[in-house]
Amino acid sequence: MNQYFHYQQDQLFAENVALADIAEKFGTPCYVYSRAALTDAYRQFADALKAREHLICFSVKSNSNLAILNLFARLGAGFDIVSGGELQRVLAAGGDAGKVVFSGVGKTESEMRLALEANILCFNVESAAELDRLNEVAASMGKVAAISFRVNPDVDAKTHPYISTGLKQNKFGVAYADAMALYRKAAGMAHLRVTGMDCHIGSQLTETSPFIAAAEKVLVLVDQLASEGIKLEHLDLGGGLGIRYDDETPPSIADYAQALLGALRGRSEKLIVEPGRVLVGNAGVLLTRVEYLKPGAEKHFAIVDAAMNDLMRPALYDAYHAILPVQREPSPRSSDETTDEASSHLAKLQKLQQAIGYSHSTKHDKAVQVAGYPASGRGGEREKQPQIYEVVGPICETGDFLGHGREMALDQGSLLALMSAGAYGMSMSSNYNTRPRAAEVMVDGVSAHLIRERETVRQLFAGEKIIA
């Protein structure tokens, strides 16, 4: 939890709105974001880098909702995109094309044309073949494309192999040994203008040393280029700063920024960074409801209405997300207070039973349980006992899980919040098993705004045709 998602009287809130109220109004599964958390994270970045000319390009792939993009645009952000679709989202959200950098290994001709028409800031070129294609497309349009090369520094990011991008065996970027020759070639191409150098070594990094190692390696190339008369205007050090999902201890935004600024001390290039997860990850949760509690021979299952199509990270990366009850068990009160209050309610219940002629007892009867109070004669035991659950979805895949071995006291219908779900949640969701994608809600103080309607099944096959 954090200051934006917290308990008030045992109810989990987003800012000043109860998540139970959001579930009641908008249904589940549902993504919920805190506007204050998004704003504060961006401002921390901006404040930490203010000593140097910089541009913060939000990584659109981490969360591409228009309301979130619009919020960052109004805060002054640029955007890191990896597709023509993401560019169109940025423009629809009010983003400035002149603050957009276009990354990705597979840019199509149509995507290049779209970006050139929009006059984006820079293409991060990732291969010699892409370089040739971009020059040809720009020539056909009578334009000059600003470029940098994404250089692969062969630095181990010490993260999950699926999100490590800076090793020489990865598909991303150009090889470090090939970079100088490619820059020389690009400098002589009529419809390209060399403006910068880019590197991005991975995601969910929890220490600063890999960032510094990568920066130091690419700066050697920057200086070699300058000695040959190819002076760069900016240095794009990518993104990748991690967040806390479980027990990780990532550096703060301030410490990360200070490490980068230290590596660039005395240099004139403009700094570009591409944060994604660190801006949105802990600003969002996924609300879900327990459909069934299913005892098993070896494990107990809590089957919820969210699934791997809603949040892919656990199934794809075996990633951990904390799972919290939206209504937690009440905090323990004094034994005298609890006993007196429970006795009062029990007396009222027994009086009512007598009035309606209720009479039933056997030697096997358990003590009467008054909802919300300890059972009489049971040592304070509650009806709803903690159990270790596999939290799983309804999709027909064994890998459809959201959490392993979670100890919780649950009932059918209990609401749960999967924490730290603001990054690579909705943006990686799918319609597998013909499941409509979740609604998205942004909380702003005491208000909750629907920023994406829940899909309908009819929308899923609206574009399909049956042939005779």
Taking every pair of Cα atoms in the chain, the longest distance, rounded to a whole number of angstroms, is 100
Torsion sign (Cα): 11, 15, 16, 17: negative
Radius of gyration of the chain (CA): 27
Domain 35-277 in CATH: superfamily?
A: Alanine racemase (3.20.20.10)
Taking Cα atoms as reference points, which of 115, 260, 132, 233 lies closest to residue 188?
132
Concatenate the DSSP letters of all residues of 330-393 into one string.
PPP--HHHHHHHHHHHHHHHHHHHHHTT-----TTPPPPPPTTSPPTTTTT--SS--EEEEEE-
Segments in 231-357 forming alpha helices (H): 253-263, 277-280, 313-317, 335-355
Cα-flanking dihedrals φ and ψ of residue 283, to 5°? -95, 5
What is the predicted pLDDT for the residue at 201?
Answer: 85
Distance, in Å, from the CA atom of 225 to the CA atom of 22, rounded to the nearest integer, reads 55
Please state the separation of Cα 215 from the chain's center in Å.
25
Q: What whole-number distance in Å separates Cα of residue 135 and Cα of residue 192?
A: 6
Q: Tokens 């020489």 map to which residue?
A: 168
**Could you read off the pLDDT of 246-288 as tens digits, one per residue?**
999 999 999 999 999 999 999 999 999 999 999 999 999 999 9
Strand 17-18 relative to strand 270-273, pairing = unpaired
Taking the C-alpha atoms of residue 323 and residue 401, their distance in angstroms, rounded to an integer, is 12
CATH fourth-level superfamily of 282-329+385-460: Lyase, Ornithine Decarboxylase; Chain A, domain 1 (2.40.37.10)
Give the list of residues 6+ apart from residue 190 with CB closer than 8 angstroms, or none.
135, 139, 144
How, if at all, do strands 270-273 and 54-59 pair? parallel
The DSSP output letter for 202 is: B
**pLDDT tens string for the chain (468 positions)?**
789 999 999 999 999 999 999 999 999 999 999 999 999 999 999 999 999 999 999 999 999 999 999 999 999 999 999 999 999 999 999 999 999 999 999 999 999 999 999 999 999 999 999 999 999 999 999 999 999 999 998 876 555 454 444 455 577 789 999 999 999 999 999 999 999 999 988 888 989 998 999 999 999 999 999 999 999 999 999 999 999 999 999 999 999 999 999 999 999 999 999 999 999 999 999 999 999 999 999 999 999 999 999 999 999 999 999 999 999 988 665 444 444 544 454 454 444 344 434 333 333 333 333 333 333 333 344 457 899 999 999 999 999 999 999 999 999 999 999 999 999 999 999 999 999 999 999 999 999 999 999 999 999 999 999 999
> How much is the pLDDT for 173?
86
Per-residue pLDDT, 329: 86
Distance separating alpha carbons of residues 405 and 426, to the nearest angstrom: 24
192 - beta bridge partners? 145
State the Cα–Cα distance between residues 195 and 230, nearest whole angstrom.
9
Whole-number Å distance between alpha carbons of 462 and 348: 57
Question: Is 396 labeled as catalytic in the residue annotation?
Answer: yes
Query: Which residue ranges make up each domain of the chain?
Result: 35-277, 282-329+385-460
Question: φ and ψ at 124, to 5 degrees?
Answer: -90, 100
Amino acid at 176: Y
Per-residue tokens: 6: 């917290």
To which residue do tokens 């459809």 refer? 400
**Using CA atoms, how far apart are residues 149 and 230, in angstroms rounded to an integer?**
13
Return phi, psi of residue 50, to 5°: -65, -20
CA distance 93 to 91: 5
The confidence score (pLDDT) of residue 2 equals 85
The sign of the torsion formed by the CA atoms of 425, 422, 427, 104 equals negative
Compute the C-alpha angle 310/314/315, nearest 5°.
85
| pLDDT tens by residue, 26-56 | 999 999 999 999 999 999 999 999 999 999 9
Q: Which two tokens stand for residue 103?
A: 């990354």
Catalytic residue among 30, 57, 122, 396: 396
